[in-house]
Structure 1
């Protein structure tokens, strides 16, 4: 079969080849329009945008404009920035428009490719987001590509840290917005913490093009974005716990580097208990008693900080702060903090000021954020190794785009050494040799610590070099841009400087900008620019003679994709180049994930010190180790998504409700419906269905009415003694009395004031309940994994408990709003709408919209015989079926007030038709409907 598949591939080509072939006629059609476009004046070319928009307004499909739009953009690029799209770049633009990932080699011009799909999809005026990996690239690409867009009459905005809400709102209102993934995600979360619609900065999502898509949607997707607020200061506790953990020895704990976890042994537990007791920190003798839960958590975090996190690898200490290092890019993540007290444990370990622990106010994963875009696309140099994940999680296909010029880079075999010292000796020797002939070298390392170790070794040999890591990220783009200069040696952490091309001879434009900074004489600037360009051209010729850029990697990364990215930095646009990986048995990847008996095997083979090994068996072992890590990391991300999907459904409900509240001028019906649910619940709790009067808990009911509804002169016992009074009568009387109280308040304070009061308190209660709900989910999430020991699926356990908590939160929200509004009294002199404005939450750290279920589809017409076309119906409004009864007494006789059952004699269109509150839920959960889907 394998032979047949190879033959078929050779004859018919791969599916990727066939896809590219199908796009070739469109490329030919775009090329055919080029002479016609060249004849147009600038004004006529700009007028194409208005023409395209008019055709869309007249009903034309967006894709029907593709050929003309792409031809327009190509001509605009030639006139605005002097660049013409290659045919392969046109193919890349079509792939992006097809909601796929365009895999293009480094230097193939992905930034320019993006303009094609971005322009086409910006024509409807709904806004296009171009997502970049850092602020520098967002600003650079926005400034550079906006020349094309503005030439064609489109507006461009950029969102980077430090911008005000007004500036962000203006940027998002543009046709095209450049921003980093973090800024987009945090703006979404912050928007859903605002109290007025006009304060929100983002528009509805339409189309996003993600540059370096593998970095953003794969590497950074292992941790969610979290916005948190401060809690009480516990600095002394962190310091005390750190001192306790510092006294532990290796026999007191066991650590698993693969899983990055650590746990106390029995001896360690006894020792910790003894030390904690001496410090008066234990509330009982046993560390794992319920009373000591918080202490156990802090001990675990302090132990992890001491044993699993290394300074200058996982974090650095700068200006008295612990700053996280991104393990994929080597950049400082200033402003990002570890959650759950881990960051405070690191601060205690490093003896710097301990910042108060934060409470989660809002969070979202990148997976769920980017899946909200109706149309999503991406581009990168390496995506095929993660094609399965892109397909499973984002439903994005990966298409490999051919290079404009064949790749001329030579990828040499890995050189493998027994020890790290032997490896570094070989690297230094190789650098010295290639530098003598003038070949530029880019040396890739996996951590700051190792980049600085290598730098020290080079200094001892007096080898001039540049170091590019998180300590020097301000100069990152400039250092990378000049890494292709004659005899240059640049040490880079992982993929630092990603997004900036390394041009042989150096980048002339960046040199000109740097060397002419501060000079105002235009003639002098022009002379200097001409001189620099001549120098760069001469250097480029010499570098090509020397063999082009040499990529030298000091070890394999966990992911083959990152290794391929590093290799791909050489050989752009047919330039010569070479790459080689230097490895040792002491590298982290081999030490943790490699074969256990490898060292002894190498000794038996008689490998001498300093001798390199090049063997297919070694390469296979390394590839297997990488595959193990890739599989583990994929599982981590997939698991994160599964758990966040549970919260995401709830997040969508809450955020949609907040929007509805903000958009409503009058919430009287909503508040009345909430109050009716509360009344129903407190009556049902104290008067069970089909129970006898002697079984009623009248005292409990009276107490609940007094506390929650605050109704004067209401005596439940008197009502109960009347003839024919049952639970339904009591519900109706309580509703009428409560409605009367609220009507009096509305009349007393006036329509405007009372509407403001209701909106203000409803938003505040929703936010407070959601914040506490997130904290509860965090606590469940941290401990639910242990239930696997009891043969229970942690995810199912989490789903069940999260739903139960969400149901309780929804009811508690209704109850709290009812109670607050029933009790509230405002002195006449204090009645001022401005006073009622909710206070925005204190946002501490920013760490790394579908409608509610049951709403109408867009454009669906109302039908009294089809409940799926009924919108939200107030409980006291006439039933839409035309029966003449109130909705709550007709088809609204379910928990939520939504129309679930079809009118009598008609076919029910909803799966929850004719379900009573106390019936079993049709979803199969085994719960009563009111405690399951009826809660919504």
Structure 2
């Protein structure tokens, strides 16, 4: 009670924030008359003026009122739209790096132009993130009119554009539109390139995310992964798939709340018997280590059959399994489930099974967007997730009031005993609305439910439109007509649709669809006037019928999704109504006690079609939603904790990689790696304070020969009295320096620098990919540590640190070994090229020799990748004593063209120094 009194006296924190922004809005409004009087050229010149002032040291905050006034005037002249005061508040919020919560229909797309223009003045690039390619293209062209008018460059990226120069040009613009996935994947691709010229992005300075809750919360559970195919095992998946139908229902347990499916003891016994019959069981028991892979894929097949439902979690389109985004209802083209789960679903559906993928690079959306110096966003539903936004992204949420008071009526939920009863009532309600000319938007939670409802409407001869992943291409057109009197639209999900439902119809969409590009100016004006008049009449009819009626067929797991559906009606002060119809058989109700409620209703003699309307029941449903939201938040938070461990390592590798790419000369890094490797070899095989007889000289010789291809007289050194590990280390380093000096003396310096850089980057990439695989494998089993009373996260951190330490060691070994191979092969090639040509050789042969000697650095790198055997094995057998008295630097008498020390005079099978 005291809290309510305090709010009334002092206002909420949100109210106080809004009050502080009002003086800035007043400044912008005061400037409007001055900007109205400017000519187009004078208004355009403001951009040059602002940039000059910024370069001179003036801050963006100081220029904000004038810049916003400039954008407002430009929008009036190009789009015929003027920013409302509440939209100015939204622009200020975005510029400050916060989240602007604005109701649907309040013009968030126009709001973004204010902050985008102001931050675009720096020339460092602004990224505007949309939920799909259609909106990225539409908004870049639509809002691009403002930016182009004011002299800023704008472009968009989408899934259909090839990665390359076209994308680089788009990122070079002042403002770039694109989807979250495209930005994230481009970042990963850039960090797999070998030169700065091949990279597309130019940094992460400022981003505005449309539907920020959908992108940073709903999609944050799935990391972005760039992968490459592995071996084809389609027959294996098909055989595994045949096992699941033979398992009885009491052989496995399914937990729909936690989305898990596991075999119990009885199921394991059945699997063991089936595998033995198929000849797929190795060893005596299912639990033998040889059967780990088979058991893993059987578990994945169980999930595919019992947890993943066609037309809800995925659809089969053109012979492919395409995942459905559970929050937006859209197809996720190109997105595949990992660890063989996608292949299990493909086997279940009988479509072509594509090979599993190997992770080449990955990042979560949380960590990608935390790369930006300034992050902001806008949505209609963020307040319920304000704590998560602050915990993970340090983003504050500001709820911005509507331009006009809301007139929407939100009715209490109605709960029915069965889904059939509920659907009958919904159909009756739709027919009633259609009779009086009221447009209806019917919200469903899955494609399956939307199509079931559509079939009933077809049977009752009720005209309607269906909006789900199957009709993704028609999305904008369907939404644009959803406000026409009597229209019935069934939508799987309404989050981030981008096109407003306007009563009477969407003017812009009708103009685009009905007026041909070939129309003359006079014809265009006449057609435009006709469309405006028709929409005005239709709008009046819809208003008189009560405005748009949003009818929810069941509650979603998240309250935000329900609020997004509700928010489609009552835009800009229009009247509207929303209501949710539930049944005890709905997924959410069933999982959280619907069976008990259904039994109670039966005992109380609930009649057919009778409903339960009770605010306490509505509250109970919302509590169930909060529990699901909390669980999902925990999943995302846990994912982030694990990814933070990898993220620190990823940043280290990517930053180091970028530093190497920008350096012209990395020879000091190569030398440091070689010296550190020498130190590690001595440290491992010649431990400090150990006696000479405890030294592992054989092992040291073997590893030195393998990595440096040198034969070093360690046994002679070890026999010297008083020698210690420090002196052996110094001798080994000196020997390696002498060898590399000899190997590189005939290679041009610039070519050598390029070879060193290419080898360094290639070895980093190879080892990083292997490291990712190790981390994936570790993550899949680390949860078992909990059975030993140990925290899996702490265990993961410790193990990941050890693996990263091993990665650094492998980098040093890999780079040194690859450099040695390249240089020795190049020396061998040069020696062969300099050898006297046979008497039968023609001028063509000498020409070939010249071509051979002009090898590129990348040719040398490729040769090293094959990890050639040691040079100098000779080209035949020499008589005993044939090398007596011959200098080790003289040509070998076998005719190989190599020096004696590189060929038959090589000590111990490797190079000797």
Q: What's 2:901 paired with?
A: none
Output the TM-score relative to the length of structure 1.
0.88
Q: What's 1:812 paired with?
A: 810
Q: For residue 229 of structure 1, give the secondary structure of its aligned residue in structure 2.
A: strand
Q: After TM superposition, give the deviation of residue 217 of structure 1 in Å.
A: 0.5
Q: What's 2:548 paired with?
A: 549
Q: After TM superposition, give the deviation of residue 153 of structure 1 in Å.
A: 1.0
Output the TM-score relative to the length of structure 2.
0.90
Q: What's 1:41 paired with?
A: 39
Question: What is the CA–CA distance in structure 2 between the aligned matches of 1:680 and 1:213, rounded to whole Å?
Answer: 51
Q: For residue 243 of structure 2, give the secondary structure of its aligned residue in structure 1.
A: helix
Question: What is the CA–CA distance in structure 2 between the aligned matches of 1:273 and 1:49, rounded to whole Å?
Answer: 73
Q: What's 1:832 paired with?
A: 855
Report whether the alignment pairs 1:647 with 2:646: yes
Q: For residue 179 of structure 1, give the secondary structure of its aligned residue in structure 2.
A: strand
Question: What is the CA–CA distance in structure 2 between the aligned matches of 1:746 and 1:12, rounded to whole Å?
Answer: 77
> Does the 8 Å contact 1:331/1:496 carry over to 2?
no
Question: What is the CA–CA distance in structure 2 between the aligned matches of 1:192 and 1:256, rounded to whole Å?
Answer: 40
Question: What is the CA–CA distance in structure 2 between the aligned matches of 1:192 and 1:836, rounded to whole Å?
Answer: 22
Q: After TM superposition, give the deviation of residue 590 of structure 1 in Å.
A: 0.7
Question: What is the CA–CA distance in structure 2 between the aligned matches of 1:766 and 1:837, rounded to whole Å?
Answer: 17
Q: After TM superposition, give the deviation of residue 333 of structure 1 in Å.
A: 0.9
After superposition, the C-alpha distances for 1:648-694 in whole angstroms (9 at most, x for unaligned) are 00100111121122112221100000111111101000111122222
Q: After TM superposition, give the deviation of residue 133 of structure 1 in Å.
A: 0.4
> Does the 8 Å contact 2:213/2:381 carry over to 1?
yes
After superposition, the C-alpha distances for 1:110-162 in whole angstroms (9 at most, x for unaligned) are 01111111111111111111100011111111101111111111110101112
Q: What's 1:62 paired with?
A: 60
More displaced stretch, 12-21 vs 79-88 = 79-88
Alignment of 1:424-463 (within 5 A): 424-463=423-462
After superposition, the C-alpha distances for 1:772-828 in whole angstroms (9 at most, x for unaligned) are 111111111111112212211111111111111111011011111111212331324
Q: After TM superposition, give the deviation of residue 278 of structure 1 in Å.
A: 1.6
After superposition, the C-alpha distances for 1:211-247 in whole angstroms (9 at most, x for unaligned) are 0001001101111111110000000000000011221
Q: Aligned in 2, Cα 1:689/1:831: closer, same or farther, shift over 3 Å?
A: farther
> Does the 8 Å contact 1:273/1:285 carry over to 2?
no
> Does the 8 Å contact 1:27/1:90 carry over to 2?
yes
Report whether the alignment pairs 1:255 with 2:260: no
> Does the 8 Å contact 1:477/1:497 carry over to 2?
no
Q: After TM superposition, give the deviation of residue 69 of structure 1 in Å.
A: 1.1
Q: What's 1:865 paired with?
A: none
Q: For residue 361 of structure 1, give the secondary structure of its aligned residue in structure 2.
A: strand
Question: What is the CA–CA distance in structure 1 between the aligned matches of 2:299 and 2:36, rounded to whole Å?
Answer: 68
> Does the 8 Å contact 1:595/1:621 carry over to 2?
no
Q: What's 1:405 paired with?
A: 404
Q: What's 2:89 paired with?
A: 91
Question: What is the CA–CA distance in structure 2 between the aligned matches of 1:741 and 1:204, rounded to whole Å?
Answer: 41
Q: Aligned in 2, Cα 1:304/1:329: closer, same or farther, shift over 3 Å?
A: same
Question: What is the CA–CA distance in structure 1 between the aligned matches of 2:853 and 2:575, rounded to whole Å?
Answer: 77
Report whether the alignment pairs 1:32 with 2:30: yes
Question: What is the CA–CA distance in structure 2 between the aligned matches of 1:831 and 1:444, rounded to whole Å?
Answer: 68
After superposition, the C-alpha distances for 1:519-539 in whole angstroms (9 at most, x for unaligned) are 555544443332222211111
More displaced stretch, 658-667 vs 827-836 = 827-836
Q: For residue 242 of structure 2, give the secondary structure of its aligned residue in structure 1.
A: helix
Question: What is the CA–CA distance in structure 2 between the aligned matches of 1:348 and 1:509, rounded to whole Å?
Answer: 45
Q: What's 1:221 paired with?
A: 220
Q: What's 1:341 paired with?
A: 340
Question: What is the CA–CA distance in structure 1 between the aligned matches of 2:373 and 2:717, rounded to whole Å?
Answer: 56
Q: What's 1:902 paired with?
A: none
Q: What's 2:725 paired with?
A: 727
Q: What's 1:18 paired with?
A: 16
Question: What is the CA–CA distance in structure 1 between the aligned matches of 2:860 and 2:35, rounded to whole Å?
Answer: 56
Q: Aligned in 2, Cα 1:837/1:425: closer, same or farther, shift over 3 Å?
A: farther
> Does the 8 Å contact 1:171/1:177 carry over to 2?
yes
Q: For residue 740 of structure 1, give the secondary structure of its aligned residue in structure 2.
A: helix
Q: For residue 537 of structure 2, give the secondary structure of its aligned residue in structure 1.
A: helix
Q: What's 2:234 paired with?
A: 235
More displaced stretch, 145-154 vs 226-235 = 145-154
Q: What's 2:715 paired with?
A: 717
Q: For residue 761 of structure 1, give the secondary structure of its aligned residue in structure 2.
A: helix
> Does the 8 Å contact 2:155/2:177 carry over to 1?
yes
Q: What's 1:850 paired with?
A: none
Q: For residue 491 of structure 1, give the secondary structure of its aligned residue in structure 2.
A: strand
> Does the 8 Å contact 1:554/1:581 carry over to 2?
yes
Question: What is the CA–CA distance in structure 1 between the aligned matches of 2:79 and 2:523, rounded to whole Å?
Answer: 23
> Does the 8 Å contact 1:753/1:831 carry over to 2?
no
Q: For residue 311 of structure 1, give the secondary structure of its aligned residue in structure 2.
A: coil
> Does the 8 Å contact 2:340/2:356 carry over to 1?
yes
Alignment of 1:202-351 (within 5 A): 202-351=201-350
Paired residues in the alignment total: 836
Q: What's 1:153 paired with?
A: 151
Q: After TM superposition, give the deviation of residue 70 of structure 1 in Å.
A: 1.0
Q: What's 2:671 paired with?
A: 672
Q: What's 2:171 paired with?
A: 172
Q: CA RMSD in A?
A: 1.4
Q: What's 1:495 paired with?
A: 494
Q: For residue 749 of structure 1, give the secondary structure of its aligned residue in structure 2.
A: coil
Q: Which of 122, 125, 139 is residue 123 of structure 2 equivalent to?
A: 125
Report whether the alignment pairs 1:512 with 2:511: yes
**Structure 2 spans left out of the alignment, 5+ residues:** 831-851, 863-913
Question: What is the CA–CA distance in structure 2 between the aligned matches of 1:691 and 1:673, rounded to whole Å?
Answer: 26
Q: Which of 762, 766, 772 is residue 774 of structure 1 equivalent to?
A: 772
Q: For residue 745 of structure 2, give the secondary structure of its aligned residue in structure 1.
A: helix
Question: What is the CA–CA distance in structure 1 between the aligned matches of 2:381 and 2:858, rounded to whole Å?
Answer: 55
Question: What is the CA–CA distance in structure 2 between the aligned matches of 1:433 and 1:35, rounded to whole Å?
Answer: 50
Q: For residue 746 of structure 2, give the secondary structure of its aligned residue in structure 1.
A: helix
After superposition, the C-alpha distances for 1:592-645 in whole angstroms (9 at most, x for unaligned) are 123663223223443211011111221121011101100111001001100000
**Structure 1 spans left out of the alignment, 5+ residues:** 840-936
More displaced stretch, 515-524 vs 21-30 = 515-524
**Highest RCO, 1 vs 2 (Cα 8 Å, sep ≥ 6):** 1
Q: What's 2:194 paired with?
A: 195
